[in-house]
Chains A and B, each alone.
Chain A
Amino acid sequence: MRHLLSTADLSHAQALSILDTAEEMAAVSTREVKKLPTLRGRTVVNLFFEDSTRTRISFEAAAKRLSADVMNFSAKGSSVSKGESLKDTVQTLEAIGADAIVMRHWASGAAAQLAASDWTDCAVINAGDGTHEHPTQALLDALTLRRGWSAAQGQDPRGTDLTGMRVLIVGDILHSRVARSNIWLLRTLGADVGLVAPATLLPVGVEKWPVNVYYSLDEALGSGPEAGPDAIMMLRVQAERMGGAYFPTAAEYTRRWGLTDERLARLEAHRGAAGQRPMILHPGPMNRGVEISAAAADSPMNQVLDQVSHGVSVRMAVLHLLLSSSERNTA
């Protein structure tokens, strides 16, 4: 593996390798000295063409815990805002001596283009490209889900996958890079995936995806204590979708697709095959009162803070696997 561009490219073995490595990295993060020397002398550039403080900080923490040098390059206040091309920006970073480029970009496919170009020899890590993919988010979600799923079965998570786990993804699938990356990865790991959204927020052609599609969250939650999902992932509703173009009002969205107190109560009553409660995930930041109620946001079933710490572990694993196996081309 030379780059991480899409979860669709990951084999089952590669996905498990990243997740298992992330478990090792998580152990490091609980030590008093949270640092490994593996990437000493290597340079990781966080190239962010779009604001995302959370993702950038997570990658920065991951690189630093592996002793890499980190440079943050933000499109705001840089030459990019003066019209410099992606090519020129990346060639500049290459000349500075970067080993890996972690890129967040507003354009779908930008990371794939960078990896396919001859502009740089760097390892490219897609930190979110337009409405395409966000593979490290899906990996940290999978790490979170696998912890819960294996714990319910009384297993060590390492080496296991998500076979048989039922996961619902609720919200704006059409515009969500998080949803796309999760769908492909969760399927690779053996989970059953259900999508829940108004038809306006599902892509044309979704019926060919290896998922179940529900227009009704209540239907997706099922009836009876054993029919529900093992995990539910609530996607953030972007403000620009609320103007009446995709659904009438935020209130109607909340009534039909929000994780309200009533639906939280139904989830709390669910018990999985091993007697466990469902997990609630959210990529953050949460819109309290829109897609998730305050009670659901603060519920002990909610994994959002675990997701954040798992994000650092997963990103350490990805940087470690991409960089420690490759020697920088010095020619």
Chain B
Amino acid sequence: MRSTPTAATLILGALPYGEAPEDVLIAEGRIAAVGPDARIQAEQLQEVTTIEAAGLIMLPGMVDLHTHLREPGREDAETVETGSRAAAKGGFTAVHAMANSSPVADSAGVVEQVHRLGRASGWTEVYPVGAVTVGLAGERLAELGAMAESSAQVRMFSDDGMCVHNPVLMRRALEYVKTVDGFIAQHAQEPLLTEGAQMNEGDVSAVLGLPGWPAVAEESIIARDVLLAQHVGSRLHICHVSTAGSVEIIRWAKERGIDVTAEVTPHHLLLTDELVRGYDPVYKVNPPLRTGADVEALRAGLADGTIDIIGTDHAPHPTQAKECEWSAAAMGMTGLETALPVVIKTMISTGLMGWRRFAEVTSIKPAQIYRHAHQGRPLKPGEPANLILVDAGATQTVDPAGHASKGRNSPFRGMELPGAVRATFLQGHPVVLDGELNSPLSEAAARAAEQSQVQS
């Protein structure tokens, strides 16, 4: 399917990485030409769609290593289809579906199902993440080898939602993934320090009378795991880093040459625990919203490379899971359709980074961490055409009711955010045009196949 030819597209006057305008020709799933060659080659083709893109920034399609698609098991919250639509609208050409479905993605059968559903949807590439332990129970290793050798070819393993807290099991997992060329993505949360935890432990939790989730519960696991990764010589990725102390530990680990990468969510770059004062469960998330000082440290860490990537931790929930008492509410926020604007607001508008670095943290680096050969590629002739067009000057007020995700639990509801995804190209096919869903790759591929039959 990846090589299925679709109609060619000539994009006029877009700004690759926000730099000088170029014309770009997309044909047969690849970037065929950049610059004056684009128009010349386009004239040789029979069917070319032209997009006026003056002022729009062209970037490699975003890659999310941290997505909850909820299928199988919680199709009331999200399906692979609806989550894929949300991803495409948000500018993601690949997402990685976390393993905490029901049943858990801890076997070849489940990861193959999710992978197949992703291919059928055709809005974005869907890569299932395999569970590290059976049932996410943290007791014994799941069949990592079987998942790696399945048709889904899983390389990323995570018990996300739960921490692999047993140090011996974590050591074994780090060692074992070396044999399948994979890596472990750790949800760093010491469970005994966070029993019943409801929000960040600090000044606000003290007043609200909600049990606290101390920063040290995250930092102590990260400190342990970078040392374990060093000891066994394996690859470790830290999910959703949320505290200033974690950033310092990761900086220290990288200085020591430890093979660790780290991610931050858009919501942890913008929101703080002050928002919990109204007890609105839309702000309940794990790890919790932290303090303003943590937000500043996370932004600085992302800008200087200590934190490698953005991961959305997109976590849709049905209405009733959030329309209840804070302590009874589910943890998690949607994020696929607001990630780009939030990163622009927190990192670009603040001058902390430019578009080249934006491309690194949203696309190039996450693709490298997974070792995708065709995502996060340069905007150059011959490269796969997974790319997006962004109107950086647009502003939009977030309205969850208009989201493609089934989840309405956006903490950015009502906020005015900068930037909008105008187009998303998946393997050369425009899955999003004019900011709206266009058509999935599979339909286009089917149409192309029909046409080729008619012609022959």
Contact = CB atoms under 8 A, between A and B. Distances in A.
B157 interface: no
A180 to B, nearest CB: 6
A250 interface: no
Interface string A115-147: 010000000000001111100000000000000
Given A107-B328, A108-B279, A113-B279, A203 B205 contact: yes
Interface residues of A, number: 27
Contact of B209 (A113, A180, A205, A209): A180
B325 interface: yes
Contacts of A273: none
A8 B198 CA distance: 21
Contact of B327 (A85, A130, A177, A205): A130
A112 B278 contact: yes
A71 interface: no
B210 interface: yes
A208 interface: yes
B326 A113 contact: yes
Contact of B214 (A87, A130, A204): A204
Interface in A173-221: 175, 177, 180, 203-206, 208-209
A108 B327 contact: yes
A133 B207 CA distance: 9
A24 B412 CA distance: 48
A87 B202 contact: no
Contact of A107 (B202, B203, B325): B325
A204 B209 contact: no
A249 to B, nearest CB: 22
B304 interface: no
Interface in B365-414: none
A1 B320 CA distance: 30
A110 interface: yes
A109 B326 CA distance: 7
Contacts of B193: none
B201 interface: yes
Interface in A61-119: 85-87, 105-110, 112-113, 116
Contacts of B279: 108-110, 112-113, 116
Nearest to A107: B325
The number of chain B residues touching the other chain, given as a range, is: 20 to 34
Given A112-B278, A113-B279, A116-B278, A86 B324 contact: yes
A131 to B, nearest CB: 4
Given A108-B279, A113-B279, A132 B324 contact: no
Interface in B297-328: 320, 323-328
B209 A131 contact: yes
Contacts of B202: 204-205
Interface string B173-195: 00000000000000000000000
Nearest to B212: A204
A107 B206 contact: no
A2 B394 CA distance: 41
Contact of B206 (A85, A105, A109, A203): A203
A85 B208 contact: no
Contact of A108 (B201, B208, B280, B320): B208
B209 A132 contact: yes
Contacts of B205: 203-205
A320 to B, nearest CB: 27
B208 A204 contact: no
Central interface residue in B203, B206, B323, by most chain A CB within 10 Å: B206
A109 B320 CA distance: 17
B379 to A, nearest CB: 47
Contact of B325 (A113, A175, A209): A113
A244 to B, nearest CB: 15
A205 to B, nearest CB: 4
A133 B324 CA distance: 19
Contacts of B198: 108
Nearest to B201: A204
B202 to A, nearest CB: 6
Nearest to A6: B207
Interface string B323-364: 111111000000000000000000000000000000000000
A277 B327 CA distance: 43
B201 A109 contact: no
A206 B206 contact: yes
Contacts of B208: 108-109, 132
Nearest to A204: B201
Contact of A109 (B210, B211, B212, B214): B210
B327 A180 contact: no
A205 B206 contact: yes
Nearest to B325: A107
B230 to A, nearest CB: 31
A85 B203 contact: no
Nearest to A177: B209
A85 B278 contact: no
B302 to A, nearest CB: 27
Nearest to B327: A107
A208 B325 contact: no
Contacts of A175: 209
A107 B320 CA distance: 16
Given A204-B214, A206-B206, A108 B324 contact: no
A130 B371 CA distance: 48
B210 A108 contact: yes
A180 B205 CA distance: 12
> Which 5 pairs between the two chains have the least Cβ-Cβ distance?
A109-B279, A132-B209, A107-B325, A203-B206, A131-B209
22 contacts: A8-B207, A85-B320, A86-B324, A106-B327, A108-B198, A108-B209, A108-B326, A109-B279, A110-B325, A112-B279, A113-B325, A113-B326, A116-B278, A116-B279, A116-B280, A131-B210, A132-B210, A203-B205, A203-B206, A204-B206, A204-B212, A204-B214
Given A85-B323, A113-B280, 9 more contacts: A85-B320, A107-B327, A107-B328, A108-B327, A130-B327, A131-B211, A180-B209, A204-B214, A205-B203
